[in-house]
Amino acid sequence: MRADDDPPIVAVFPLPRVVLLPGTTLPLHIFEPRYRAMTRDALTNNLFIALAQLATDKPEGDTPPVHPIAGVGEVVEASPLPDGRFNISLAGRYRARLEELPFEPPYRRARAHRLPVTRSSVSAGDVTALIHIAGRSATRLAQNGARLRMPEPLPSAPGDLADQCAAHLLIDSEEQQRVLEKLDVAGRVRLVTELLAVQDLALS
């Protein structure tokens, strides 16, 4: 048993070039035996999953390094397949700094220290600028054949808007990781606006 103020223990699901932002949902296909076990535990024991982006493109061993800040999510849909695989939807719930625990097979676990969000004032002009560049980026991405689309409906809270735009429109997962690690809401809105503008210019 843990004390009420202890960080919860979560499963660690390391993936290359994937980031889970709060308020967004990722469809995932689970096929490795260890992650099938993880999914069963998540469904049976209400275990949350930290989707941790790999910190290297060439992972080695059972515990390759991951970014210490990850999105923690909950399995909200699961479709078991006849051979033991799963199709799941993982809904991002919060940002966390992971304190990884000693490895116990079959999958990694960590204490998830929930990160506080700094709810600084966001100007109407900054929100308008983000919505404008997001719309332009969506058009540019469609012209380049990408399947990324504007989030629908647009969230009203600026922090949620920034997260959704980053998840739906940013191509580079390292840039999404920067957004995940940006706790100040006003700074996050400006960061996503800036990243989308640079991406839009690169695609033009």
Question: What tens digit of pLDDT does each residue of 67-81 get?
Answer: 999 999 999 999 999
- pTM, entire model: 0.93
DSSP element (H, E) containing 98: strand 86-100
Give yes or no for residue 82 having a pLDDT over 80: yes
Length of the chain: 204
- pLDDT given at position 57: 77
Residue 177's pLDDT band (cuts 50, 70, 90) = very high
Exposed e or buried b for every residue in 95-121, given b needs 16+ CB within 10 A? bbbbebeeeeeebbbbbbeeeeeeeee
CATH topology of domain 124-203: Methane Monooxygenase Hydroxylase; Chain G, domain 1 (1.20.58)
Residue 63's pLDDT band (cuts 50, 70, 90) = confident
Domain residue spans of the chain: 9-114, 124-203
Report the CATH number of the 9-114 domain.
Answer: 2.30.130.40
Question: What tens digit of pLDDT does each residue of 4-45 get?
Answer: 467 999 999 999 999 999 999 999 999 999 999 999 999 999
Whether the link from the prior residue into 153 is cis, omega within 30° of 0, is: yes
Amino acid at 187: G
Q: Do 9-114 and 124-203 show the same overall fold?
A: no
What single DSSP character describes residue 4? T
Separation between Cα atoms, residue 128 and residue 141, nearest integer Å: 20
In sequence order, what are the residues at sequence separation of 6 or more whose Cβ sits closer than 8 angstroms to the Cβ of residue 23?
92, 155, 160, 163, 164
Separation between Cα atoms, residue 124 and residue 190, nearest integer Å: 12
Task: Write the secondary structure of 121-174 as one string of H (helix), E (strand) and C (coil).
Answer: CCCHHHHHHHHHHHHHHHHHHHHCCCCCCCCCCCCCCHHHHHHHHHHHHCCCHH
Sign of CA dihedral 133, 117, 71, 154: negative
Question: What tens digit of pLDDT does each residue of 118-145 get?
Answer: 878 999 999 999 999 999 999 999 998 8
Separation between Cα atoms, residue 72 and residue 20, nearest integer Å: 7
- pLDDT given at position 5: 62
173 Rama sector, left if φ>0, alpha if ψ -120 to 50, beta otherwise: alpha
The CA-based angle 81-83-89, given to 5 degrees, is 30
Give yes or no for residue 60 having a pLDDT over 90: no
